[in-house]
Amino acid sequence: MNDPKPATGIDLLRTASQNKSTAFTEEERDHLKLRGLLPAAVGSMETQIERVLANIRRKDSDIEKYIFLSALQDRNERLFYRLIMENIREIMPLIYTPTVGQACKEFANIFRTEKGFYVTANDRGRVREILNNWPHRDVRIIVITDGERILGLGDLGANGMGIPIGKLSLYCACAGIRPEQTLPVMFDVGTNNDELLEDPIYLGCKQRRLRDEAYFSLMDEFVEAAKDAYPGVLIQFEDFAADNAFTLLQKYRDNTFCFNDDIQGTAAVVLAGAYAATKISGIAFKDMKFTFLGAGSAASGIGSMIASALIAEGLSSEEAHQRLWYFNSKGLVNRSRENLAEHIQPFAHDLPDYGFLEALDVHQPDILIGATGRPGMFTQQIIQKIASIKERPGIFALSNPTSRAECTAEQAYAWTDGKAIFASGSPFDEVKYGSQTFRPGQGNNSYIFPGVGLGMMACKAQTIPESVFLESAKALADTVSASDLDAGAIYPVVDEIREVSLNIATAVAEHAYESGLATVPRPEDLRSDIQSMMYDPTY
């Protein structure tokens, strides 16, 4: 099935991918039967962006801005993406973290138009058939969630559709993936959130979550259907609960073109931050130690990647894992603990049951990493303790959205007398402390996954091994400038994210060619070839 031919008249004005609204020229208005359907003035994309920004800035709340932007995407796709690209620092927090968390919580209330694809338990046996209902055939990237662990907000069921929609908007804006080549998918197998089950306007399946074989067999059906419908499609798993996240990644990583962003994307961006932090602290990466508060899928994924990077620096596997200590709600993860999840077992060391402050004294970490989903977990006592141990301590408060961060940027700088190397998952404003103005680094996955997706698509890799994410972390760390470091930032300014994505795409594609992952010949100028693929939403 081919995409529809260009529309005319009112149908054209209602086709988001083709609409230019007031920017249609006089000649186009005659040729495309638009005469009389638009105001007389012919505008430009620049004046349209100016008008849109003025409208956004008049809104009283971020959720109202989110709704406004969603409506813009529905009526003028190119204007939506050009707006993001030219104002990404202002717009990204509105279309993704932290606002997307609120949008997911209110998804049924703010639902306007259909933007994604839903697979439910009732579709078993006919998933491939219903994929034909999606209007585009050249789908290159799917982002799928089951809504069980949305950011730090927990089980939001089908309301979690806001996450795939937001992620794919970033793929388009940050890495130039064409919108019609993306497919947001909600794997709606129910919810265990009683509030949603009792909510009369909840839009998802009102049943308890499928588990075990019923769950995994339906996912098998979807994955095989997607691979058949869209050969070579990249599947990104997003916001699954830890057990399912690891099980699905292990199940598909060696035979399917896929990755899990919470496990691998998060890990790569944190590893990049650790690499960049060495330029401030002066401590070599191979000598670093890390303490984690939180031991879920994101935290263990980060640890696994850091361990792989330490092994690449010459440490043994045992030495690398000893550098990482974990705490969860039950205390220190050690070998005396029973019923530890499989993904955290490699980090269970032969240690006494130290308390957290005591463990900081014994382990003396260079970087403290929070992945708890619980605000305020990095107390003043904890942060001052690590500051007494290390001259330039790394404080990575990674939980999303901003309201869930383990501490604020202001707290990290104030409680360490401006010595902290701070990073967070969601954005914080600049902080003035003493005579210095700090720009908190945002360790957001959007620095990693768009470039990885673009690079892997460009070389038509068949799988995405861990080494790809190690390369992406190095490439991201290499983009951090001296001016970034002077401002205390271990990530580049978000305004440069499209260039960062191109750098990462080139690096991972180069790695794919060198390691035999690529399935198409290497172009003479790899970077230029990838850049030529990037969607440019202008008219």
Residues 6+ apart with CB under 8 A from 442: 423, 424, 425, 426, 427, 428, 491, 494
Residues 6+ apart with CB under 8 A from 451: 174, 175, 472, 475, 500, 501, 502, 503, 504, 505, 508
The phi and psi torsions of 372 (rounded to 5 degrees) equal -105, -25
Nearest to 489 by CA among 387, 413, 388, 384: 413
Residue for token digits 């602290």? 281
Q: Which of 20, 65, 66, 167 is catalytic?
A: 167
Q: Which of 96, 215, 275, 447 is catalytic?
A: 96
Handedness of CA 430, 433, 437, 438 (dihedral sign): negative
| Cα–Cα dist 334/215, whole Å | 31
Q: How far is C-alpha 32 from the geometric centre of its chain's CA atoms? A: 39
Nearest to 233 by CA among 462, 513, 512: 462
What is the CA angle 429-381-288, rounded to 5?
Answer: 75
What is the CA angle 260-247-322, rounded to 5?
Answer: 80
The phi and psi torsions of 157 (rounded to 5 degrees) equal 55, -140
Residue 115 annotated as catalytic: no
Provide the 8-state DSSP code for 349.
B
Amino acid identity, position 230: Y
| Cα–Cα dist 60/79, whole Å | 22
To which H or E segment does residue 331 belong? Answer: strand 331-332
| Cα–Cα dist 476/272, whole Å | 6
Residue 167 annotated as catalytic: yes
**For the chain, what percentages of helix, strand and coil (3-state, to nearest 5) are there?**
50, 10, 40
Which are the catalytic amino acids?
Answer: 96, 167
